[in-house]
Amino acid sequence: MTPDSRRLLPSATPVSLIDPEGRAVENSPYPAPDDATLLRSLGKLITARRLNDQAYALVRQGRLAVYPSSHGQEACQVAAAQVLDAQDWLFPTYRDTVAAVGKGVDPVEALSLLKGDWHCGYDPYEHRVAPHATPLATQLPHAVGVAHAARLRGEPTVVMAMCGDGGTSEGDFHEALNFAAVFQAPVVFFVQNNEYAISVPLARQTAAPSLAHKGIGYGVPGERVDGNDMAALLAVLGTAVDRARNGEGPQLIEAHTYRMQAHTNADDATRYRDDADVAAWVHRDPITRLRTYLTARGVLTDQAGAAFTAEAEKVATHLRDGLNRDIEPNPEDLFAYVYASPTPQLREQSAVIADELSREGAR
């Protein structure tokens, strides 16, 4: 049992270090990251926005089947990857391509799933990034298992388990928090609350004071943070990762942000929310906020800004060129990566396909 229940309570309001106008917030309980760190973060944000926009364009060109954009909430994903060490694991959702790329995954490989080429286009062990999870919250128990295994082996690994506000309504979310708390697994549950689970608003998801409060019932400390404030995200997530790594068990972080675009390209968001609601979040844009802050402090120069833009275009070109290449699928791959040792049923099915292919080739 937790000796002091007060340590479980999140802040009454989301932690913020830079306000929407780009000014420093006074008397914050968290120290602000240094200017050099924030300057690097701005570059990553600009690249992330360009990646989002390019991916959306590739959907319209038929090169991606679908793309759940994180436009407007890129700061959450950039920060999630930035606070992790090389040995740490990231468990992303289908909307967290930016986080996966931030952890080192090639953007072309990261989007192979959404192109329909592979279930996962990259080696999860190379950068310690689990496959994108399309079913809601199913990755969370897996993340806890990896964290628990690392703890048993005495490894200093922390796992960042990401989900959206809709995922907190799933049983897997609650099972993962309970298991993690009981076994003190070094995992940070990072909830990106963007106000909507497809068309379902947050008010229809929960009656709790906040999603961070959900940790109380499991003995998991919670915290709330402004999800469009890059400085606050780095500070809060960094603190949570440090606590998990130092043996203080799981942490639950809720980032308050907003999904600026539709759920995916197949969604018509105008059917369930007003344009005025979206417009109200425009001035809270994480890139504009951080750019204003760094410019006022004399940290962001024209040269640095141009270099960030050039790097973002380089990534977009790489993504565009990679996804514009046609891949000739090998039907035998359907059976090659299901089990380490193929079952009799798989061998039988593979033989049927091979026979059909050989007979087609003989025509």
- For each of the chain's 363 residues, which pLDDT tens digit applies? 555 777 899 999 999 999 999 999 999 999 999 999 999 999 999 999 999 999 999 999 999 999 999 999 999 999 999 999 999 999 999 999 999 999 999 999 999 989 988 778 899 999 999 999 889 999 999 999 999 999 999 999 999 999 999 999 999 999 999 999 999 999 999 999 998 888 888 889 899 999 999 999 999 999 999 999 999 999 999 999 999 999 999 999 999 999 988 888 888 888 888 888 888 899 999 999 999 999 999 999 999 999 999 999 999 999 999 999 888 878 888 888 889 999 999 999 999 999 998 887 754
Can you tell me the distance from the alpha carbon of 141 to that of 163, in angstroms, rounded to the nearest whole number?
Answer: 12
Can you tell me the distance from the alpha carbon of 82 to that of 42, in angstroms, rounded to the nearest whole number?
Answer: 12
Nearest 5°: the CA angle 117, 123, 126 is: 155
Among 90, 46, 94, 75, which Cα is nearest to 265's? Answer: 94
Q: Render pLDDT for 230-268 as a digit per residue (tens, 0 to 9).
A: 999 999 999 999 999 999 999 999 999 999 888 888 888
Write the CB contacts of 359 (distance below 8 Å, at least 6 apart in sequence): none
Residue 188 tokens read as: 């940070």
> Which amino acid is it at 222?
G
Can you tell me the distance from the alpha carbon of 322 to that of 47, in angstroms, rounded to the nearest whole number?
Answer: 17
Q: In what helix (H) or strand (E) does residue 160 lie, and over which residues does it extend? A: strand 159-164
Predicted TM-score (pTM) of this structure:
0.93
Pair type for strands 196-197 and 200-201: antiparallel
